[in-house]
Amino acid sequence: MLMFRMLQLLYGTLVAGRSRSLRVLIPLCGASKDINWLAEQGHCVIGVEFVELACRQFFIDHEIPFVEKAMNKDCTIFKSRDAAKNVTLFCCDFFSADKSIIGAVDAVWDRGSLTSIHPNDRGRYVETICQMLSPSTTYLIETLNYDSSMFGGETTSQYSMQLIVPVAGPPYSLPLDELTSLFAPYNSTVEQLSKHYGTEAWHKRLAATKNVFSITFHA
């Protein structure tokens, strides 16, 4: 819910004064209500999601008629039949998605997707998504930053026996310097737009911060 409010607050930055309908990409989108809200603003929303149930559930939750079509054995497309809401969800492995499948995009709303990816795969994630961009693409990304060193390098989503603090990810910590380094090969600059402390118990224990950054690409 907090990130949905953040999208509304930063919407002007995402569209960057463009009044036309934009092709907005939401990677690892799940059944997020952000998809519906952006579609209601008149944009063509493109989502990539691995879980088929989540794709189908989005359309059911928002009562949007849709068609389901197998693009190939590894990708199923869920597309709205509602002329007022232009939504296409690609159900596939994110790393198999490319510009030939997704097409070029005008904006990206990365709502914690990169922080859900294992750190070893971050470079591959950025490479995959940047091939869909152009110098005019606006990119907003939400990250989480905390001290993961206390976990001794363990990476699992299971909780500790005390159910107080999860071990290091997902979501994985992503500090600003690493984010900047990941996108540096793509002639970009990173600007912080917001920062606040997380509200969950383990966020408070680790003084974890949730951050939103704007990534600008240069010709």
Q: Residue 92 sits in a domain of what CATH number?
A: 3.40.50.150
Q: Is the model more confident about 9 or about 170?
A: 9
Rounded to whole angstroms, what are the CA distances from 15 to 106, 140, 179?
Answer: 9, 10, 22
Domain assignment present for 116: no
Picking from 87, 111, 135, the residue at the C-terminal end of a domain is 111
Highest mean pLDDT among 93-102, 157-166, 203-212: 93-102
* Residues 101 and 134 both lie in one domain: no
Domain shared by 96 and 182, yes or no: no
Same domain, 139 and 91: no
Other residues' Cβ atoms within 10 Å of the Cβ of residue 54: 18
Count of domains observed in the chain: 2
Residue 154 has pLDDT above 50, yes or no: no
In a domain, 205, yes or no: yes
Q: Are residues 164 and 68 in the same domain?
A: no
Query: pLDDT tens, 190-203?
Result: 999 998 866 776 66
Sheet of 188-197, strand order: 66-72, 75-80, 87-91, 44-49, 23-27, 107-111, 138-145, 209-217, 188-197
pLDDT for the residue 159? 39
Beta bridge partners of 80: 66
91 and 134 inside one domain: no
pTM over 0.85: yes
Confidence of residue 19 (pLDDT cuts 50, 70, 90): confident
Q: What is the pLDDT of residues 93-134, one digit of tens each?
A: 999 998 999 999 999 999 999 999 999 999 999 999 999 998
Whether 178 and 137 map to the same domain: the answer is: yes
Domain with 145, as residue range(s), is 121-219
> Is the per-residue pLDDT at 167 higher than 60?
no
Residue type, 129: I
22 pLDDT higher than 80: yes
Contact 11, 18 (CB under 8 A): no
pLDDT of residue 153: 47
Question: Residue range 157-179: average pLDDT?
Answer: 65
- The phi and psi torsions of 51 (rounded to 5 degrees) equal -90, 115
Handedness of CA 86, 92, 95, 99 (dihedral sign): negative
User: What mean pLDDT comes out for the span 186-190?
Assistant: 95
Residue 143 has pLDDT above 90, yes or no: yes
- Rounded Cα–Cα distance for residues 162 and 167 (Å): 12
pLDDT greater than 90 at residue 48: yes
Give CA–CA dist 198/70, Å, rounded. Answer: 39
Residues 32 and 56 grouped into a single domain: yes
Judgement on whether residues 6 and 104 belong to the same structural domain of the protein? yes
Average pLDDT for 146-150: 75
Q: What is the pLDDT of residue 1?
A: 54
Contact 195, 135 (CB under 8 A): no
The token pair that represents 72 in the structure block: 């190939």
Q: What is the overall mean pLDDT for the chain?
A: 88
